Amino acid sequence: MPIEVVILMTRRTLLTGATGTLGRALRPRLRDAGHDVVAASRSPPSTDRADVEWVRTDFAAETGIRDAVSDVDVVVHAATAPRGDTESVDVRGTERLLVAAADAGVSNFVYVSIVGVDEIPYSYYEHKLTAERIVAESPVPSTIVRATQFHSFVHDILETIARVPIWPLPTGIRLQPIDVGEAAAAIADYATPEAAGRAPDVGGPEILTVRELAETYREVRGLRRPIVRLPLPGEVAAGFRSGAACCPDRTVGTTTWGTWLESAHRDRLAAGGHR
């Protein structure tokens, strides 16, 4: 490719949440797509290869936000604090980043959200929905893309449950997990100079109940623990049971839960981990 074309295609892109599950998968994909990546974190890794530029940013403490966005064309905002101060990181942090992005003349602010945030009244989802509205109403042109749960997220929950001899689980909940690399590839495609508004959802290849997810996990790990139904009352559980966290018409990922688990399990055994 002629050098002038490469220069024209290069864009400077801020990736927030660059150390997170999605952020780590987005970094190489954005780079490979020709972005000059500015990666933001509260604690930039000191040993990382210098193929992205790191900036120290804290959305809760309100530090480093203007510097991070001052010289970029596109923002991919994947920072989140699901187990922390969601209001201050996901809502107020997004608001502050947008104000700085408007001043910097950002042409596309890509906000990563979750399928079902508008239907399931879970407090983290409510904060994500508020953030989506702030993004959509901002003067900064934006793209909002919702994804379903990552395989690794479901896996981490089952790993915690696996420690006890009987697994009490909300077996009727339905999820559509996706490989994070496949989700990242779809999201990276939206990091263009032009905003796309509300983008189509990004989901995994199959919808499975928590019972089915746990049975496959149990089989792959060669365990024999009984799974018992944990009845969960309330609107949040009812929302997940109804399939509101799924997007059956948007099966973007192709890696199934079983395939992903087998591969993760092989990697673990190769690294000397437990069965």
Ligand X SMILES: NC(=O)c1ccc[n+]([C@@H]2O[C@H](COP(=O)([O-])OP(=O)(O)OC[C@H]3O[C@@H](n4cnc5c(N)ncnc54)[C@H](OP(=O)(O)O)[C@@H]3O)[C@@H](O)[C@H]2O)c1
Footprint on this chain of ligand X (rule: CB under 6 A): 17-23, 41-43, 57-60, 78-81, 89, 112, 114, 128, 147, 149-150, 153
3-state secondary structure of 11: strand
Name the amino acid, one letter, at 252.
V
Q: Which burial class, exposed, middle or buried, applies to 123 when counting CB atoms under 10 A from its CB (0-12, 13-18, 19+)?
A: exposed
Q: Whole-number minimum distance, CB 246 to ligand X, in Å?
A: 12
Contact 83, 116 (CB under 8 A): no
For ligand X, the closer of residues 33 and 81 by Cβ is 81
Which CB atom, from 225 or from 255, has the smaller least distance to ligand X? Answer: 255
Beta strands per DSSP E along 86-191 = 108-114, 142-147, 167-169, 174-175
* Cα–Cα distance measured from residue 42 to residue 215, given in angstroms and rounded to the nearest whole number: 38
> C-beta of 140: minimal distance to ligand X in Å?
17
Q: Which of 124, 122, 153 is nearest to 260 (CA)?
A: 153
Measured from the CB of residue 50, what is the shortest distance to ligand X in angstroms?
Answer: 18
Q: Which is nearer to ligand X, 4 or 249 (CB)?
A: 249
How near is the Cβ of 201 to ligand X at its closest, in Å?
10
Q: Residue 150 in 3-state DSSP?
A: strand
| Tokens 């940013």 -> residue | 57
Give min distance, CB of 252 to ligand X, in A.
12
Closest separation in Å from C-beta 7 to ligand X:
30
Nearer to ligand X (CB atom), residue 83 or residue 224: 83
Closer CB to ligand X, 88 or 225, in the complex = 88
Rg of the chain in Å (alpha carbons): 19
Asked if residues 93 and 99 have their Cβ atoms less than 8 Å apart, the reply is no
Q: Which of 20, 13, 51, 48 has the alpha carbon at shortest distance from 180?
A: 20
- Please state the closest distance from residue 75 (CB atom) to ligand X, in A: 13
The residue among 45 and 269 lying less far from ligand X, judged by its C-beta, is 45
8-state DSSP, 90:
I
Query: Which residue number places its CB atom closest to ligand X?
Result: 20
Choose between 14 and 195: whose C-beta lies nearer to ligand X: 14
